[in-house]
Structure 1
Amino acid sequence: MFDLLPLPVIPDGTPVWWYVTAMCLAVLLVGISKAGFGGGVGIVALPLVANVVPADRAVGVMLPLLIVADVFAVGTHFRKQSRRHMNWLLVGAMAGIVLGSAVLWELSERGTLTFWLNLLVGSLCLVFVVLQCYRMVGGAVPRIPPGPWGGRGTGLAAGLTSTLSHSAGPIVSIYLLEQRMAKAALVGTMVLFFMITNVAKLPTFVWLGLINPATLLEGLWFVPMIPVGVVIGIWMYKRIPERPFVVVMYVGAALAAGNMLWEAANG
């Protein structure tokens, strides 16, 4: 199959080795995070890809890959979801996706989509890295109400953030962690939630041309990295201390996000 696929178009000035490394590492990290290891390290993926291709191309390439990873993850965590929390989150998320789609459409109409994606994705990634590191050292974040309105509000924020930057994992994890559910139920709820929301984002991304034949063909080259990442994540979950790995990934995320902000400032 791969003999028939056209090679990805690598932007001028980007070394081939760096493009391949960044793409493979990003997709591997998606698989690892979907397997339930590493907390929110999946936020690293999009900034990493956006450092080797334009931001609008990065979001288009990554969404189908995220959905494939979601399918693997849902299969791994089959029937471990909390239906009550899932329903609350999805009600808000659908509204957030509509709002995020309107924002993307407006930015596309103005011809400023790449600039704003660099700014938004970079800023959100840095905020989430700081937030996650603050939690890791024992800091207390504002508490989200545990009832349906807290779930719907979290879903709204997650749907909006996910549509704009594919990086809503920390928002949902903060909410679900406060529900004191077992880790299997927490991970199962998250992976099913993001599979549904990612599929719901597809029409907008296709309509705006962010997903097109070129991005789909480019993504196909890296699909094999997804099951590899899931297997690695399951293995690491049982054998590797999570905190050192997470710290290294967050440092990488901060560097990648900083470069996106630099691109936005100098674009």
Structure 2
Amino acid sequence: MDTMTLWHLTGWEFAALALAALLVGFSKTAVSGANTISLAVFAAVLPARASTGVLLPLLIAGDVLAVLTYRRHAHWPTLWRLFPAVAAGVVVGTLFLMRADDGIVRTSIGVTLLLMAALTVWRRRTAERAAEPGAVTTRAGRVKARSYGVLGGFTTMVANAGGPVMSMYLLSAGFRKLGFLGTSAFFFLIVNVSKVPFSVGLGLIDGPSLLLDAALVLFVLPGALLGKWAVDRIDQRLFEQLVIAATVLGALHLLLR
């Protein structure tokens, strides 16, 4: 794998990755989707393909902390409705990664980030028209769930960027804050763990990447604790605006490298 070991990083590069790892923990317990900033940082510091393999174990660590925090608030009917479509999206994403080189992956991540930022803006504008959680039972609702599931599976496999897709779906389904966090916590823990064999098979996770993860995972826990403290205090609207702005800047950085 075209990667960088812990010893090849400069102090500033490691500090950037550590801050991104802290934000992973924060996003899992406070603002789902905020880790798109982490994605941009990892893809900027590391080779684009390698960055997805390094980031995945950190996301799983954050998912575990989120499940421990919000496990009582998950809505399982919604999860079962999504999983088959997500699995299909993960397979498509794996096939894409088998053929794509680092430049194509970097461009794909940048385009995905811009798309996710646009979807997040649209999500915020339509959130007020949401229905009750889990009430999507019509044929149109099932098609909607499958569409979001495939897109979420593809984006999470290629760029670990399924957060905004699932955030948009869960908010459109009428989930309030705790139900949203509990359902997304279990969703991403199960999906991210299922991605590990694919990432290992593609050479995205190996010894050097896990060594780097071992150093960075120490920063995920304080981020998660900070998120748990802030979830009831944070100005959600302002923070999402900052997340969108940072995501767009990160995407442009990747596209213009």
Cα deviation, residue 139, structure 1: 6.1
Match in the other structure for 1:124: 112
SS of equivalent to 1:223:
helix
Is residue 169 from structure 1 mapped to residue 163 from structure 2 by the alignment? yes
Cα deviation, residue 174, structure 1: 1.2
Match in the other structure for 2:213: 219
Match in the other structure for 2:12: 18
Q: Which one of 215, 222, 247 corresponds to residue 228 of structure 1?
A: 222
Is residue 258 from structure 1 mapped to residue 248 from structure 2 by the alignment? no
Is residue 146 from structure 1 mapped to residue 145 from structure 2 by the alignment? no
Match in the other structure for 1:133: 121
TM-score (norm 1): 0.85
CA distance, structure 2, for counterparts of residue 115 and residue 181 of structure 1:
38
Kindly tell me the number of residue pairs found equivalent between the two proteins.
246
Cα deviation, residue 244, structure 1: 2.3
Cα deviation, residue 135, structure 1: 4.3
Are the counterparts in 2 of residues 33 and 233 from structure 1 also a CA contact under 8 Å?
A: yes
Can you list the C-alpha shifts for 1:47-94, whole angstroms capped at 9, x where unaligned? 111111111121110011111111111111113211111001111111
- Higher helix fraction (1 or 2): 2
Deviates more, 1:88-97 or 1:249-258: 249-258
- CA distance change for structure 1 residues 69 and 8 in 2, over 3 Å: closer, same or farther? farther
- CA distance change for structure 1 residues 135 and 252 in 2, over 3 Å: closer, same or farther? same
RMSD value, Cα: 2.2
Match in the other structure for 1:13: none
- CA distance change for structure 1 residues 17 and 253 in 2, over 3 Å: closer, same or farther? farther
CA distance, structure 2, for counterparts of residue 210 and residue 70 of structure 1:
20
Match in the other structure for 2:94: 101
CA distance, structure 2, for counterparts of residue 195 and residue 92 of structure 1:
16
CA distance, structure 2, for counterparts of residue 183 and residue 242 of structure 1:
11
Are the counterparts in 2 of residues 18 and 52 from structure 1 also a CA contact under 8 Å?
A: no
Deviates more, 1:249-258 or 1:141-150: 141-150
Cα deviation, residue 7, structure 1: 3.9
CA distance, structure 2, for counterparts of residue 22 and residue 256 of structure 1:
13
Counterpart residue identity of residue 8, structure 2? V
Is residue 240 from structure 1 mapped to residue 230 from structure 2 by the alignment? no
Is residue 58 from structure 1 mapped to residue 51 from structure 2 by the alignment? yes
In structure 1, stretches of 5+ residues that fail to align are 1-5, 11-15
SS of equivalent to 2:143:
helix
Match in the other structure for 1:8: 7
Sequence identity of aligned pairs in percent? 32
TM-score (norm 2): 0.88
- CA distance change for structure 1 residues 18 and 246 in 2, over 3 Å: closer, same or farther? farther
Q: Within 5 Å, give how 1:83-94 maps onto structure 2.
A: 83-94=76-87
